[in-house]
Amino acid sequence: MSQTRHVPVMLQRCLDLLAPALQKPGSVVVDCTLGLGGHSEAMLKAFPEARLVALDRDKEALRLSGERLAPFGDRATLVHAVYDELPEVLERLSVPRVQGVLFDLGVSSMQLDERERGFAYAHDAPLDMRMDQTTGVSAAEVLNTYPPGELVRILRQYGEEKQAKRIVSAIVREREKEPFSNSARLVELIRDALPQAAKRTGGNPAKRTFQALRIEVNGELSVLERAIPAAVQSLAVDGRIAVLSYHSLEDRLVKQVFAAGAANTAPPGLPVVPEQYQPRLKLLTRGAELPTEDEIAENRRAAPARLRGAQRIREDVR
């Protein structure tokens, strides 16, 4: 089941970006967002000399992808961890440096497709949205307990929702009557709260609020802020990193880390740039690459994807 419904996004391009670093015997590639294992399986097939370390915070994803990757035996090591825990995971596995890192951010296909997880606004489900259901607060708890000002900030910052104040006023009014538990009531409330003009643009009017709640529940941006620099740090010289983002906040963060790594940080006017000021990274993509029209036609979930790649070109000099 998992194989048939899961189409990995921009798969061939990700493989092409990572390939030069993963052809050698003994190379290690990290899939920081294992999900259903589509990208991981393709990397194990494409790079027969490589070993895979794969992380996911979702135990159900680990179980399903574990079945999928079982034929590769001890070439695949699956770890229950959030991707900002990468340095600790590599230390536990006695892997000092890796040759490749892949991030496929956002919600996995499995999480969207399992109705009871509450990620999708298209059908009624409990408002959970936790990627790791063993820990943390649910989306319902956020809606029912956060102060109004905090909810407005989350919707504006993480959902880029212009109507945040209207929506939050309606949420606060309704939660006093009865706490929120299911998604359908929230979707209906958002529809009723928005002015007509706002409902005519950008797909389902609940989309931005659901995105904001999901990011808050899972701490996605704060985790990513730690994870991308840590992943760059874990790369050996000539190692490569590829990151698939699905909204502008993620992509901006990745862009900033890559741009900083690829910049010359020397004070202006030096005749020769000392090594500690020279770039650590070389950018492998011109801006963010987009999926092709054919791919979007085949897999609509690829539509918002943005892919960036970089190569480690030197060690840090202290």
Annotated binding residues for S-adenosyl-L-methionine, as ranges? 37-39, 56, 83, 104, 111
For tokens 């000099």, the residue is: 317
Annotated binding site: 37-39, 56, 83, 104, 111
Cα distances (Å, whole numbers) of residue 160 to 121, 157, 169, 208:
17, 6, 17, 7
Q: What is the DSSP string of 201-218?
A: SSS-TTHHHHHHHHHHHH
What is the DSSP code (8-state) at residue 22? H
Which of 260, 247, 250, 249 shows the shortest CA–CA distance to 310? Answer: 260
Beta bridge partners of 29: 52, 100
What phi and psi values does residue 137 have, to the nearest 5 degrees? -95, 150
Is residue 23 within 8 Å of residue 46, measured between CB atoms?
no
Torsion sign, CA atoms 160, 108, 93, 15: negative
The tokens for 25 are: 């015997």
d(CA 305, CA 289): 8
